[in-house]
A and B are shown apart, each in its own frame.
Chain A
Amino acid sequence: MTTATEPDAAAAAATTSARTFPRGASYMEALQDPASAFADPDLAAAAPALTPLGLPRPVSGNFAAVFRMDAADGRAWAVRCFTRWFDDMGRRYEAVDAHLQKQRGTWRVGFEFQSQGVHVDGEWYPIVKMDWTSGQPLLGYIEQHLWDGAALAYLAHRFATLVDELRRAGVAHGDLQHGNILVAPGGDLRLVDYDGMFVPALAGLTGNELGHRNYQHPSRAPGEFGLHIDNFSSWVVYASLVGLSVDPLLWGRVDGGDECLLFRSQDFTDPVHSDALAAFESSGHPVLADLAGRLRSYLAMPLASVPPLAPDRAPMPVLQEGRPVDLARQQSLMAVLRDEAPAAASSPLVEDIRRPRAAARPPVHFSHPTTPRLAAGAVAGAVLLVLVAMASAVVPVVLGLPALLAVTAVGSLAAKTLWRQSPEVAEFQTKQAGHADATRRRDEAKSAVAAVLRQRAEVDKTEHEALSRAGRASEQQQSERDAAIRQVDDQLRVTLTALAAQEQELYRAEHTALAAALRDAQRVVIDEDLRRKPLSMYSGLDDRLLFALALDDVRTAADFVDVFVENEGKASELAYLVRADDKRVKATGLSAAGARQLLSWRRGLEARLSASLPTSLPDDVAGQIRARFSAPRAELARAEGRARADAERQADAVRAMPVADSTALTAAARQAQRQAAERRVKLDQDLGRAKKALAEAEWELDSCERELDAYRGLTFAAFLRGIIGLP
């Protein structure tokens, strides 16, 4: 929870209000249709895990609802959909990603931050797509192994190792708690939820969460951030695991597992009244008392002073820092190339060349009255028409019609010839030929432009192909490289898991040996004491029987372990005492009831001793036993170191190899791009010229058209009307 009480926390809180995020129910609705909800093709094609009602099944946390998505090919992801948000979360995730890329720890789970990941109610929201990890949540694991002290002790050891590994890697989780720790098969641990993670690149920022309340130091301030933020919570987890490995009854006694392990926030804010700490102290087990004492002393200091949890054994391989950074990541390649591409579209050469259109011309008319040829034509026409009229009156009708037709035809031909020979019509015809010419020139210019454009498109296409070839090849290589590294990781994980299983076995054997040794030590104390209790102390045996038993070496309570009665209730009833070596010794005269009483006397003596029995082994004895296991354990540690180093080398080799290739690819793509750019410059010049020519042709054509428009009135009918003198 983030509550604003300090200046930096207030600043952090201020950035949260910038945008309201969907609630869980909205995500649940959106994910009912993954294809429209997700941008990521994997997720869009995957199906959400469902509740029994058939709705997407969420797991809710402090910042996010997490949904499991299953692909048809068996891959699965956990998708974090944020319900709360801090504006710099994306940046933080990038920094965490960059830093974790350099770690080979098996605890980390692969993830990808997508700023536009899920589409809800018309808007895009970020997601984190995490690889699904098959681990059991810590609480479930504890409940299942509550009576398996060795398993829990091993878990504690593994956890301490993990915390140490994180610290050495410069990483603090920020919210170490039962819900974020998964136990993988073999006892290896995985951490999930990196929302509040610290990595060195984030130094100087404030924290965005306080972590689970039942794991936090009371002094952890809102915004407190740094490598130290896990220091207290890791001790809380460790103490709980160790406590349970020693005394599983603690689980029930403090209501363990109810949003906590064994401790709650109240135990930290008010340690004086903490029943969990008291239970540790009154357990009589020195390790638990020591842990409770540590927790108390840590509570008395600020969080920054709490020492980190460090395993007291198992030398850790030092993780190497400062590996070569991946320069040519697949996403960046295309972007780099795109950024450098010339901005051809804005080149002034390809701008349209426009000219003002020619103004329309006033229409042209026939100029009859002023033209002598036209006047002569008019006279000839009139004479002809008079002749026709006269002929039709005189000549008989049979002859008259063809004559009339002939005369009319001759007349109209003459008139048409006159019309054609008029200077306006001749002018018009010239203009028409000019127009046809201009049209042809315009069409040529047009196809010249089209040709240049085609060439340019060709260049673009070639370039695009070259680039996407390079991109594809690079993506291909990148994904091959990723796959290879993943394979190395997976291989390492398998090896480490196997080693962890062996180590757990070793741990169990050591635990068993120590327990057996402790039992033996307790036995020695009991025997010593019982040897000081002669049978004569017990009032139920007469002297004769005591004497007889002494002859069989049964003199003290230590000398027998059980009683045995033969033919009980019959006349031949006979009681025996059973010695430690299983030999039965006759106790003539002792009744069955008397024998049982004797045994319960002995057991009473033993019970009285139980409070004073040793609860732990002397250091040297324990040390000897531990020493027996140290060699195989060291061997395992060496094997782990070797496995990690091998994986490291393999991963480095994978990384080293494709970098050169992708540089070559980049070079090839750049070359193609450069050529295309050169071609484009030239084509753009051509295009400019072609467009200019086209614009001129268009202008010519345009003015031709306008001139022709002016002659539209020069028809034969208009000519005739002019001859007759009609308007």
Chain B
Amino acid sequence: MIVAKRKPLNEIADMVAPYKKVAVIGCRSCVAICLAGGEKEVKMTVSALKVKNKKEGRRQEFEALVVERQCEKEFVKEVEDKILSSDLVLSMACSLGAQTIGDMYPDHLCFPGLNTGFFGVPEEQGVWSEKCVGCGNCIIHTTGGICPISRCAKSMLNGPCGGSSNRKCEVNLDIDCAWAAIYDRLKLQNRLDLIESITPAKDWSASHAGGRRVYVREDARLTPHQKKGREAVQ
């Protein structure tokens, strides 16, 4: 899931200050799970902004809305009238949600209310950790199911490095060495031979370096005829 964090309220308030009617739109997917932009967080943000406005004597109108998945156009369409009748949309979804609204209504302003962090998992209640950087070329079958790209500070493919000491990383002693974890996992799986095999330099062309990535599944796409039919139904 995508893990995000609410921007500081004063930053949000400064962003939305010049606009009279603000639609604050959350998302019930990843950001609701990481307690950043779900229904409750949207309502709390709106409430806190109203209290701040009261203190500063500013008059603004806020509307709190939540959609199922803000990165999908059909769900955003459900609140289209609210978006179009507002002066500004404050997206409390990840950057994907904010950009989806931006792409659908390019002449309409949509500002981010969250700082999008990383691809991660909930470790325990209230704790989320990064597990993937979306490099486009997964190798965790050779590393015991642990991603060295995201979890090793140096993204080493052949570790551990000389900076690993007592299972900790030299970058920060609070960080566990990813390669120590990989060693343990491979040992448990009886596959320690893998740690001695050399992994060649990674092909980063599948990663972000080449600009925006687009994946296409031709069999899932609609033909022009199908598109026409769907538009007719809508």
Whether chain B is bound by chain A comes out as no
Report A's interface with B, CB cutoff 8 A. none
